[in-house]
Amino acid sequence: MTAASITGLAHRGDARICRGCWDQMHVPIPIRGPLALPFRAFGITRSKMNPNICTICERSFRYVKKQSHVAASATILFADIRGFTHLSERIERVRLSQIVSLFQDRCAEGIWAHDGIVNKTMGDGLMAIFNFPIVRKDHAEAAIRAALDIQRLCADALGSLDLDWLGGQPLGVGVGIHSGDVEIGEFSSFRSDFTAIGGTVNLASRLESQAEAGEILLSPETAMQAGALAADATTRLLTLKGIEQPVEARVLDHFIVSSKQ
């Protein structure tokens, strides 16, 4: 197989070979089709972080990168359900779990469609990384497109629920995105899955904490890299906990689901 034909296999929607292993090591690891079967016998399957990468990417960071962590340029996206604590005090847990499931699945759909990975999930929230292990030069733009998909898909899904029990509270998702240098690697000796840390990650998380239901908050760095996609965004000056200088966030707001609709 030529490098070109391998790259072709790796860049389809349902990649036949692991796109992470290809982008990081130029090694073709089959993840779909009959060639994937012998690998599956050795426990190498599609990753839960993104079905176009494999568990080598996910669990063998040290093996792939030959270091416990590396510096990388990436875009980090945080999303969570706004007002979830308020909700969780008021509705039964089975109902709550339906909402969490809808949220997690729709977010993953949006993130995977633009080559991001769902790196961490935590109840009503998650963190995604763009540009690692699948390389995307336009990672800021990819993350914004994922966020727009997340807002649209979640609004559709949450809108289909019977919302009478919300008591007029809007139900929606808040998203925060920032692009910059991060340290990617394995940071605990007992877990072999990788994550990203650094100021970039924390700023993305802080932005998300300030996003209202239906809003996407971009850092100036992400907005600048994304060009036309962020052209319609309004500007909001934010003072963020632990960040010395105020941040001039760009705001994309589209989608709110409310029981008043």
Work out how close the CB of 12 gets to a copy of itself at its nearest, in angstroms, rounded to a whole number: 19
- The two counts, helices (H) then strands (E), for the chain are 10, 9
* Token duo for residue 226: 């994304």
One residue of 197, 227, 248, 260 binding a copy of itself per CB under 8 A: 197
> Element (H or E) spanning 80, and its range?
strand 69-82
Residues 222-261 that bind a copy of itself (CB under 8 A): 240-244
Q: Tell me whether the omega of the peptide bond preceding residue 133 falls within 30 degrees of 0, making it cis.
A: yes
CB 21 within 8 A of CB 29: yes
User: Distance between CA atoms of 219 and 203, rounded to whole angstroms?
Assistant: 8
One residue of 8, 73, 161, 183 binding a copy of itself per CB under 8 A: 183
Q: Is 67 in the site for a copy of itself (CB under 8 A)?
A: no
Q: Is 89 in the site for a copy of itself (CB under 8 A)?
A: yes
For a copy of itself, give the closer residue by CB, 124 or 138: 124
For a copy of itself, give the closer residue by CB, 53 or 252: 53
Work out how close the CB of 1 gets to a copy of itself at its nearest, in angstroms, rounded to a whole number: 29
Q: Which of 87, 114, 110, 111 is nearest to 98 (CA)?
A: 87
Q: Is 77 in the site for a copy of itself (CB under 8 A)?
A: no
User: Distance between CA atoms of 66 and 207, rounded to whole angstroms?
Assistant: 33
One residue of 20, 30, 83, 214 binding a copy of itself per CB under 8 A: 83
Buried b (16+ CB within 10 A) or exposed e, 30-41: bbbeeebeebee
* Token duo for residue 7: 């790259």
For a copy of itself, give the closer residue by CB, 210 or 233: 210
One residue of 35, 38, 63, 85 binding a copy of itself per CB under 8 A: 85
Residues 93-112 that bind a copy of itself (CB under 8 A): 93-94, 96-97, 100-101, 104-105, 108
Q: Is 40 in the site for a copy of itself (CB under 8 A)?
A: no
Buried b (16+ CB within 10 A) or exposed e, 79-95: bbbbbbeebbeeeeeee
The site for a copy of itself (CB under 8 A) is made up of 43, 48, 51, 69, 71, 83-86, 88-89, 93-94, 96-97, 100-101, 104-105, 108, 118, 120-124, 127, 181-183, 185, 187-193, 195-199, 201-203, 205-206, 240-244
